[in-house]
Amino acid sequence: MFITRYKPQLLNMKSPEKEREEIILRLTEAVGLLRNSFDARLIPPNGTNIVFAISGARDSRDVAAVKGGIGSKGGKVHLYGSCAFNVGGEISRIVLTTMKFDPLMRSAFIIKCNKKILEIVKDMFIECRTIDHVKIPPNSNNIDWGIASCCKDGVPEIIYDVGITPKESLIRVIGQDPVEVANNIIILSNRIQ
**DSSP letters for 94-142:** HHHHHHHH-TT--EEEEEE--HHHHHHHHHH-S-EEE--GGGPPTTS-H
Q: What is the CATH number of the domain that holds 109?
A: 3.40.225.10
> Mean pLDDT throughout 78-103?
94
Residue 9 has pLDDT above 60, yes or no: no
User: Distances in Å between the alpha carbon of 38 and those of 41, 72, 93, 127, 138?
Assistant: 9, 11, 24, 22, 37
pLDDT for res 10: 47
* Position 120 in a domain: yes
* Position 115 in a domain: yes
Q: Is the pTM of this model over 0.95?
A: no
* Position 25 in a domain: yes
Whole-angstrom distance, CA of residue 46 vs CA of residue 34: 18
Angle between helices 115-124 and 178-192 (to 10 degrees): 120
Quick check: 165 and 114 in contact, CB under 8 A?
no
Quick check: 111 and 187 in contact, CB under 8 A?
no
* pLDDT tens digits, one per residue of 41-89: 999 988 999 999 999 999 999 999 999 999 998 888 888 999 999 999 8
Mean pLDDT computed over every residue of the chain: 88
* Position 27 in a domain: yes
* Position 74 in a domain: yes
pLDDT for res 192: 84
pLDDT for res 154: 94
Residue 13 has pLDDT above 50, yes or no: no
Residue 116 CB: number of other CB atoms within 10 A? 10
* Position 71 in a domain: yes
* pLDDT tens digits, one per residue of 115-174: 899 999 999 988 999 987 777 777 766 788 889 999 999 999 999 988 766 667 899 999
Residue 5 has pLDDT above 70, yes or no: no
Quick check: 110 and 49 in contact, CB under 8 A?
yes
Kindly compute the dihedral angle of the four CA atoms of residues 117, 70, 93, 169, in this order, to the nearest 10 degrees.
-30
Residue 3 has pLDDT above 60, yes or no: no
pLDDT for res 142: 74
pLDDT for res 162: 81
pLDDT for res 136: 72
pLDDT for res 188: 92
* Position 1 in a domain: no
Instruction: Provide the domain count of the chain.
Output: 1
* Position 5 in a domain: no
Residue 180 has pLDDT above 80, yes or no: yes
Q: What residue numbers bound the domain in which 114 lies?
A: 10-192
In the chain, what percentage of residues exceed pLDDT 90? Answer: 66
